[in-house]
Chains A and B, each alone.
Chain A
């Protein structure tokens, strides 16, 4: 079974509008972390936002926020007031065994390509 599922291969959004990128995950570990990365056309992977499984509040970082629904195992990225520079691939990733000290591996989804239009 896929540990991280991103069901939207591509999304379009108009400039200044908000957009939600979906991510669902599968784990039996009670302690895990969820990450979102942005990959522009230049190729680099840029860390955006993090949500821990025990965090009481949804994470926010500027225009990025995470709609974390633990019971549904979803961690959707919300980008508010989209800008042309937001056009990129977006990857959701998970690290299980958050406090184990041994398991640092990230498992990635297949990504969603976001295109921001005028």
Chain B
């Protein structure tokens, strides 16, 4: 089984709808992240969480919110989706200390019409 899972894997929604992307991990890592990937722009950080009580904004947090329900679960919400939020969304996890390699989930492809 995958260490980092994301649901759904694909989602089509309409402008103005609220949607939630979910991430679960079995790696036992404290730190979790949400990124979006747009063609030609690499990955950009939306939000990150160092533990259940610690949530931080990344470079592109406007229009997004997150919830860290448990050490293993970190969800991303789009309160009112807009077409330019169409992207590939990744969840990642890492353990604090040392190199802190981030391990990514399989991604969620989101299309906002």
A44 with B100, Cβ < 8 A, contacts A104-B94, A110-B40 known? no
A-B contact count (CB 8 A): 58
Q: Which residues of A contact B45 (CB under 8 A)?
A: 105-106
Closest approach, in angstroms, between the C-beta of B110 and any C-beta of chain A?
A: 12
Q: Which residues of B contact A110 (CB under 8 A)?
A: 40-42
Choose, from B17-25, B60-68, B70-78, B101-109, the stretch at the interface.
B101-109
Q: Which residues of B contact A108 (CB under 8 A)?
A: 42-44
Q: Which residue of B lies closest to A91 (CB)?
A: B42
Give the B interface residue count (CB, 8 A): 27
Residue among B42, B99, B104, B105 facing the most chain A CB atoms (10 A cut-off): B42
Residues of A at the B interface (CB closer than 8 Å) are 4, 33, 35, 37, 43-47, 50, 52, 91, 93, 95, 98, 101, 104-106, 108-111
